[in-house]
């Protein structure tokens, strides 16, 4: 601060001393950007430390956009023009254009090229007259924020595209929920590709009311040739999303795809695949409604031979759950390069035999296997050994019950089996039947990489085998656990529960990071 005061005393407007250059704030609300650019700060916030010198404000702003850490000084920017606020809709803040002078716009032009990242929260928006003023005459030839790289716009308005430009790479936009007609959505999505043709990461949350909006969204995607990551959270009542999927399948650089589709399921009308769909796809996350045939979607979404990560989530599995699951795994098992597979379901009460997971075992490069097995599933040791013996590179194994399931149990021997066949294993999560006896684990220093043991016990009253299990773990040379989770369950005799847990403490103290 003293160095900046020296600059003021000397009326120096050049660069700051090198020791003042630090990392600037990672994100600024667009309201904050305008407030700080135009020095709209309430006088009550300035207090006794307020400095009303206009030069101080200009100097601080130049320092802010030149990556100087002025966090402690932001509250000292002088109020040049009164901040006018009025409300027409609950939660929306408007900036009145009448309070701005030509000098203010000139100052905005001075600092706007330095803005790199802006977050515009829901509950705030610029008045249309302000945006139009920005676009007129002197602003018409260049974007409002010409070097903006990241823009997050929650509750986007039709004027949100005015802030986009050729430099924009990351866009996270939420279309207002009250826009249930295409008149509000189509102008925005139609302008995104034109205003920001070089987007590499796009996150879009919207309610899609009709086919015209779907076609507009597909048309936007066709123009984003360099897009590498796309996330869509779409709420639709009866709209076929195939045009969007077709457009995505032809993006040459798309590597990450997240598709959350909510609303009434519509049987897809599949068109013939275009040549070489999803040529660069590596990772996909897919969430669907209850009655959607996931296998049918995956036959379309997973043709890429380069796929390495698959995550499937369904909000509810119906009676055809077993056959649908088998189809999912059969499609997924074709990908020899697969490294991660996760499958989640809610309120599933149908038992699952691990034999149904057999197709995934053909993915010999698999490192992460995370499945909510659900129902009354009994995880046989032979099934665990079948999986582990075919997945030597496994790092994380998680077979636990989904929410709403009664139980899904394994034996403690399953941990030893996984450790035996998977020398690189670092995380194992199983729900354990603690009544089962524990054989010798036969762990050695090869398994010192194990960092997470998640034992979800279904019977707390039988703790001897669990104590034996942890005792053998603690005896392994060089063995350390960074994190240990124990699920005590719901036992009415709480005194006895805590007494049993206390008997484990001498053993657990040998294992770092237990809880």
pLDDT by residue, tens only, the chain of 515 residues: 343 344 333 333 333 333 333 333 333 444 444 444 444 434 443 333 333 333 444 544 454 444 333 333 333 333 322 333 444 433 333 444 455 566 666 666 666 676 777 766 554 455 555 556 555 544 455 677 788 888 877 766 666 677 788 899 999 888 765 555 545 678 788 888 888 899 999 998 887 777 888 888 889 999 998 999 999 888 776 677 778 888 888 888 999 988 887 665 555 544 455 566 788 888 888 877 655 556 666 666 666 667 888 887 766 555 555 566 666 666 666 777 888 888 876 555 555 566 667 777 778 888 988 887 665 666 777 888 888 888 888 888 887 766 545 455 666 677 777 877 887 887 777 766 545 554 445 555 455 555 556 555 544 444 555 666 666 666 655 455 555 555 555 555 445 555 555 666 665 555 544 44
Q: 172, 152 in Cβ contact below 8 A?
A: yes
- Residues whose CB is less than 8 angstroms from the CB of residue 62 and which lie 6 or more positions away in sequence, other chains included: 13, 111
pLDDT value, residue 372: 75
455 to each of 396, 412, 432, 449, 486, how far by Cα in Å?
Answer: 14, 9, 6, 18, 5
pLDDT at 126: 53
Question: Nearest Cα to 383, choosing from 345, 344, 418?
Answer: 418
C-alpha–C-alpha distance, residues 266 and 263, integer Å: 9
Eight-state DSSP code of residue 332: H
CB 304 within 8 A of CB 279: yes
Give the tokens for residue 219. 């048309």
Count of other CB atoms within 10 angstroms of residue 101: 11
Instruction: Tell me the C-alpha distance between 235 and 223, whole Å.
Output: 23
* Residue 322 confidence (pLDDT): 56
Overall pTM surpassing 0.75 (yes/no): no
Q: What is the pLDDT of residue 49?
A: 31
Q: What is the pLDDT of residue 278?
A: 81
pLDDT of residue 346: 54
Residue 453 CA: distances (Å) to CA of 369, 377, 396: 15, 20, 10
Please give the pLDDT value at position 229. Answer: 93
Query: What is the distance, to the nearest Å, from the Cα of residue 139 to the centroid of all Cα atoms in its chain?
Result: 35
Q: What is the pLDDT of residue 242?
A: 76
């Amino acid at each position: 601060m003293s160095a900046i005061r020296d600059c003021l005393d000397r009326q120096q407007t050049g660069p700051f001393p090198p020791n003042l250059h630090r990392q600037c704030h990672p994100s600024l609300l667009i309201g904050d950007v305008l407030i700080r650019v135009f020095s709209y700060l309430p006088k009550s916030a300035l207090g006794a430390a307020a400095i009303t010198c206009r030069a101080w404000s200009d100097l601080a702003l130049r320092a802010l956009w030149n990556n100087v850490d002025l966090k402690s000084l932001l509250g000292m920017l002088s109020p040049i023009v009164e901040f006018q606020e009025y409300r027409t809709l609950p939660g929306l803040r408007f900036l009145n254009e009448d309070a701005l002078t030509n000098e203010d716009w000139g100052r905005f032009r001075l600092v706007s090229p330095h803005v790199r990242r802006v977050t515009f929260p829901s509950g705030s928006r610029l008045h249309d007259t302000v945006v139009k003023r920005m676009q007129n005459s002197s602003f018409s030839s260049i974007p409002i924020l010409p070097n903006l790289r990241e823009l997050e716009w929650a509750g986007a308005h039709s004027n949100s595209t005015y802030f986009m430009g050729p430099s924009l790479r990351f866009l996270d936009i939420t279309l207002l929920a009250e826009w249930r007609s295409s008149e509000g959505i189509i102008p925005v999505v139609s302008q995104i590709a034109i205003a920001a043709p070089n987007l590499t990461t796009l996150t879009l949350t919207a309610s899609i009311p009709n086919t015209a909006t779907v076609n507009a969204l597909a048309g936007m995607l066709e123009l984003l040739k360099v897009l590498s990551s796309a996330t869509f959270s779409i709420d639709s009542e009866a709209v076929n999303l195939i045009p969007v999927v077709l457009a995505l399948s032809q993006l040459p650089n798309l590597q990450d795809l997240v598709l959350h589709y909510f609303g009434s399921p519509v049987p897809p009308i599949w068109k013939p695949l275009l040549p070489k769909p999803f040529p660069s796809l590596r990772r996909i996350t897919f969430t669907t409604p209850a009655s959607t045939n996931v296998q049918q979607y995956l036959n379309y979404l997973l043709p890429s031979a380069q796929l390495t990560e698959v995550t499937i989530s369904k909000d509810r599995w119906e009676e055809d759950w077993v056959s649908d699951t088998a189809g999912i795994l059969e499609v997924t098992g074709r990908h020899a390069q697969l490294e991660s597979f996760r499958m989640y379901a809610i309120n599933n009460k149908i038992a699952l035999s691990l034999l149904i997971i057999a197709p995934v075992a053909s993915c010999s490069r698999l490192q992460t296997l995370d499945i909510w097995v659900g129902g009354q599933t009994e995880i046989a040791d032979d099934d665990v050994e079948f999986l582990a013996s075919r997945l030597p590179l496994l790092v994380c194994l998680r077979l636990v019950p989904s929410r709403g399931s009664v139980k899904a149990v394994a034996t403690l021997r399953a941990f030893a089996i996984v450790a035996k066949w998977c020398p690189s294993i670092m995380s194992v999560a199983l729900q354990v039947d603690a009544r089962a006896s524990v054989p010798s684990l036969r762990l050695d220093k090869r398994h010192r990489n194990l960092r997470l043991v998640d034992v979800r016990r279904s019977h707390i009253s039988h703790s001897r085998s669990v104590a034996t299990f942890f005792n053998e773990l603690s005896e392994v040379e060089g063995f350390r656990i960074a994190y240990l989770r124990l699920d005590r369950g719901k036992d009415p005799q709480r005194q006895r529960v805590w007494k049993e847990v206390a008997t484990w403490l001498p053993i657990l103290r040998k294992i770092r990071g237990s809880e």
